[in-house]
Amino acid sequence: MSANEPNTESGGGTRVIFTGEQRNPLLSFLQRPRIMLLLLAVWSILGVLPQVFTESAIFFDNKGREIDGALGGFALGWEGVPLAAVYIYAFRNPDRHRPVFWLALIHMAAMAASQLYHLGTGDFSFESIIVPLAGSGGLSALVFLHLFGPKESPAEAAKPD
């Protein structure tokens, strides 16, 4: 039985088998430059929410303590806003703004490194860093594959799926 013939033994339907020759459809979708830029912009905006809603236990819970020190204000600097603006600007023409993916790789790597640092110093609990760490790691992997992975030839890109 071939991979696309109906499977009559289990009540019908079509069976799909990935042999490694075909690209994973979800990964192909997520690696589209505009989709990656949109994900990066959303992730940057999500990074600002804990800095805006400091009294929310969901985003940022400082347990009644204040952030102190001469440079303590930098902890809530909303740096995700200009990064999101850059990603949204590059969304218009990702091929023209290819260097933005290098910025994204540095941004996501720095975010992941900061989460690991704060986990190591005990500033935050594992529950506080798991979502930012997983999101940054996943987006880093997508951007890395986009920058360094195998490229489709223009003929393959033009072929209908």
CA distance linking residue 147 with residue 134, whole number of Å: 20
**Both tokens assigned to 50:** 């804990």
Count structural domains, the chain: 1
CA distance linking residue 107 with residue 83, whole number of Å: 9
Q: What is the pLDDT of residues 77-119, one digit of tens each?
A: 788 899 999 999 999 999 999 999 999 999 999 989 988 988 8
Does residue 37 form part of some domain? yes
pLDDT of residue 77: 76
Does residue 80 form part of some domain? yes
Q: What is the pLDDT of residues 2-40, one digit of tens each?
A: 555 555 555 567 776 666 677 788 888 988 999 999 999
Does residue 2 form part of some domain? no
Does residue 148 form part of some domain? yes
pLDDT of residue 161: 47
> Amino acid identity, residue 103?
L
In the chain, % of residues over pLDDT 70 = 70
**Residue 74: domain span:** 25-158
